[in-house]
Amino acid sequence: MIVSGAALLLAGAAFLVYDLVTFRETMASSLSIQAEIIGSGSVSALEFDDTRSAKATLSALKASPSILSAAIYTSDHRSFADYTRDPEHRMPLPPEIPAGKTEVQSFQDEHLILGKAIPFQGKTAGFIYIESDLTELNDRLTHYAGIVAGILVVSLLAALLISSLSKRAISTPVIHLAEMVRVVSREKNYSLRATAINSRSELAELIDAFNEMLSQIQERDGALEKARDELEHRVAERTAELAAVNKELEAFSYSVSHDLRAPLRHIDGFSLILAQKYGPALDAPAQQYLKRIRDGARHMGQLVDDLLGMAQIGRQEVVRKSVDLHALVKDAVRDLQSEWDGRRIEWKIGALPVLSCDPNLMKIAIVNLLSNAVKYTRKCEDAVIEADHFQQAGQTVIFIRDNGAGFEQEYAHKLFGVFQRLHRSEDFEGTGVGLATVQRIIQKHGGRIWAEGKVDEGAVFFFTLGAHDRQSGRDSLR
């Protein structure tokens, strides 16, 4: 309604302005023609100074009800004859016709005054002035304004009728659909449906598509709900199975710690008695066999201890605290003093940061890594073991480097497996459990560990505590 009304008002205003301008020009043109006719009829009266004849000619203007007064002037601007419709009406002062012009027009106080020169034989015989009111113009504007108002009323009624029809066909369904969208978005209730309309319009297709989308979402949510229930059921089953397995592992650990360790102690103890009591009587091969029995028993006992330790770490909860890693590495070096006494090792411990981690578990991991470095630099006259850190992709990467035996890089993935060893036990002792324990500790902290090395050129172990870092330590060190 507002748009239609505004458009009609603008069109009507433009129409009225155009008609006003053109009708004023038409009035002036018509008045000029009348002045020319009266002037032509008054030439002889001016020439013979016959005022009665001039007045008679002016009286012909009675036929035009819009003309209020008229006057004829001589060439020297003396009043010669005049005419007024109302005797009390005073003729306004005539406008002066500029030199070089034969006619002037002037709209003044709801009047139109026209002055025109009366030519005769190439000279000006006199002047005629006519005053007309604008009643005809006002009547015309009033008439046209009535037409515009009528058209406006009819058009607005038509717009109202059309808008009411379009509201039922378009606006109401759109508003309903928008409200439905708000409700569904706010309440997440996908069982609601928008009211369909009986038509083949794009709006009907949109509503049908919206309802179809809600149906699909509802079906998807139902499937997700069912899958979630099934998953929760499976998780509960797996949790129960895992609890049972953990109990079995605990029972196994108890069996290992008691049933297996006791026979190993017996084997080692009786072997020691046999060596001490009957050793001198045995020949060299028998003594060597006896030594192997004792070494094997001790190795088996150490292996059992390492496995129990790793199992215990797997069950232990991580309690994070702020740990000064520099001080922790210093303590680990002191704890390993007995392993490197009498050797020349250069320790390079950098300004390690304070990290959030479990201090007990991290101490075990650092001790294992440093002990590993001490062991594999045994054959180096000038061993160098370095512990430091660097930043990579917003993470702190800790590394421990040595210049010992190293390893083949292609077998680096085997380093952290249980019982996986890259060196012969004759060269370097060990059970193959230490690095697997370190990896388990790092993973419990949400980090990762990796290694790089080269035979006879040393090895370096990197680890992070946090999100996985997908770049290699080698690239970062470069």
| pLDDT of amino acid 468 | 37
Q: What digits encode the pLDDT tens for the residues 94-146?
A: 777 887 788 888 887 778 888 888 888 888 888 888 888 888 778 878 888 88
Confidence of residue 343 (pLDDT cuts 50, 70, 90): confident
Mean pLDDT in the chain? Answer: 80
Domain assignments of the chain as residue spans, ordered by start:
2-141, 319-477
CATH architecture, domain 319-477: 2-Layer Sandwich (3.30)
Q: Is the pLDDT of residue 475 over 50?
A: no
> So what's the pLDDT on residue 460?
92
For residue 411, is pLDDT > 70? yes
> If pLDDT is split at 50, 70 and 90, which confidence band does 308 have?
low
The listed range with the strongest mean pLDDT (198-202, 281-285, 297-301, 345-349) is 345-349
Specify the pLDDT at position 176.
78
Does pLDDT of 301 surpass 80? no
pLDDT of residue 329: 92
Topology, domain 2-141 = Beta-Lactamase (3.30.450)
Tokens 């008695």 appear where? 273
Q: What is the structure's pLDDT at 257?
A: 60
Per-residue model confidence (pLDDT) at position 388:
93
Phi and psi at 128, nearest 5°, equal -125, 135
The string of pLDDT tens digits covering residues 95-105 is: 778 877 888 88
- Indicate the pLDDT class of residue 348, thresholds 50, 70 and 90: very high
Burial of 126-139, coded b for 16+ CB within 10 Å and e otherwise, reads bbbbbbbbbebbee
At 306, is the pLDDT very low, low, confident or very high (cuts 50, 70, 90)?
low
